[in-house]
């Protein structure tokens, strides 16, 4: 990810208005006659679930915010991140950065989060991908070790927001992928899930948690276990696990996260909550939250965001 250190202004990532699929071996940018990989537009076409997609040769091209301060912040994060596919058209990490880095930079994370759940008015501490200052966030590492998670296979929440001694929010973001795991992995997950349920036993409906794992809800279950323990270790009053999805997600993947995961597996209360939220609602609310000139960049990007080489990614 060293290519993220780039000083030139970043153009808008390619999206719906810019793309026209001409075949597996052709550049997908409208009007271009080059092959793939394209030396002009720096993208290559790859096959993916449902069709084809593009990948940038330099991941920074897929990001909106890449000035010197952004580069320093992101480079430190990526030193501690297990893997990164920031340059992919379908990258959940790139979408997470583009949306939440805007809110972080302009001091409006708190009002943005109030569109999802109640939170304090001051801005929170922001921890992308469990990493802080180039290393695993120490409070998270301690909770992970208590499970214990293996160092090479730790959970990696997309975003954690901390209002000290008040509220912890963990966001598990999805773009095209389902919440539920591949059925081929579920037998192994059932063997590994015991310590999570046991170490956070007061926060799970035991039988329902094992059934939820059997049905593939392993990732959200891990986040609930770690978040519940982290909330208690940090002395916070409240914990909210947010599943951030596209509006088409439940229908596309035949999933109901609240019913099939949270209400079945978790002990829910006023201080331990689960929420489903949508990328479209979050970005649509941005104009009422911020008046910064960068707002137009965020909104234009979201409305032009593509999947599968030019299909609209979001439902506005």
Q: What is the pLDDT of residues 95-125, one digit of tens each?
A: 999 999 999 999 999 999 999 999 999 999 9
Given a cut of 80, whether residue 4 has pLDDT beyond it is no
For residue 78, what pLDDT band results from cuts at 50, 70 and 90? confident
Which tokens belong to 68?
A: 């010197």
**How far is C-alpha 19 from the geometric centre of its chain's CA atoms?**
24
Residue 8 has pLDDT above 80, yes or no: no
User: What average pLDDT score do residues 263-272 get?
Assistant: 98
Classify residue 225 by burial, with Cβ atoms within 10 Å: 0-12, 13-18, 19+: buried
pTM listed for this prediction: 0.95
Q: Supply the pLDDT for residue 7.
A: 38
CA dist 36 and 23 (Å) reads 9
**SS3 helix, strand, coil % of the chain, rounded to 5?**
40, 20, 40
What confidence tens digit (pLDDT) does each residue in 236-253 have? 999 999 999 999 999 999
Question: For residue 83, what pLDDT is reported?
Answer: 77
| pLDDT over threshold 70, residue 3 | no
């Amino acid at each position: 990810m060293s290519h993220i250190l780039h000083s030139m202004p970043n153009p808008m990532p390619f999206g719906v208005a810019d793309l026209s699929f001409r075949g597996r071996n052709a550049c997908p940018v409208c009007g271009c006659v080059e092959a793939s990989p394209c030396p002009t537009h720096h993208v290559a076409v790859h096959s993916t679930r449902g069709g084809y997609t593009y990948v940038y040769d330099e991941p920074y091209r897929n990001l909106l915010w890449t000035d010197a301060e952004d580069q320093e912040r992101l480079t430190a994060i990526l030193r501690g991140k297990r893997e990164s596919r920031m340059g992919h058209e379908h990258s959940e990490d790139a979408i997470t950065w583009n949306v939440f880095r805007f809110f972080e930079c302009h001091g409006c994370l708190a009002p943005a989060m109030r569109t999802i759940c109640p939170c304090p008015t001051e801005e929170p501490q922001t921890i992308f991908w469990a990493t802080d200052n180039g290393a695993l966030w120490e409070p998270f590492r301690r909770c992970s070790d208590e499970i214990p998670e293996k160092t090479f296979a730790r959970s990696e929440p997309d975003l954690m927001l901390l209002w000290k001694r008040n509220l912890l929010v963990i966001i598990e973001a999805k773009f095209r992928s389902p919440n539920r795991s591949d059925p081929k992995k579920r037998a192994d997950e059932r063997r590994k899930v015991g310590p999570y349920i046991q170490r956070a036993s007061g926060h799970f409906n035991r039988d329902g948690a094992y059934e939820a794992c059997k049905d593939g809800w392993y990732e959200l279950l891990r986040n609930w276990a770690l978040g519940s323990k982290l909330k208690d270790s940090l002395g916070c009053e409240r914990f909210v696990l947010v599943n951030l999805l596209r509006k088409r997600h439940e229908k596309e993947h035949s999933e109901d996260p609240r019913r099939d995961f949270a209400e079945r597996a978790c002990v829910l209360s006023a201080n331990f909550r689960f929420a489903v939220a949508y990328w479209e609602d979050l970005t649509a609310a941005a104009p009422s939250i911020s008046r910064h000139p960068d707002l137009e960049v965020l909104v234009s990007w979201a409305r032009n965001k593509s999947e599968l080489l030019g299909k609209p990614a979001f439902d506005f």
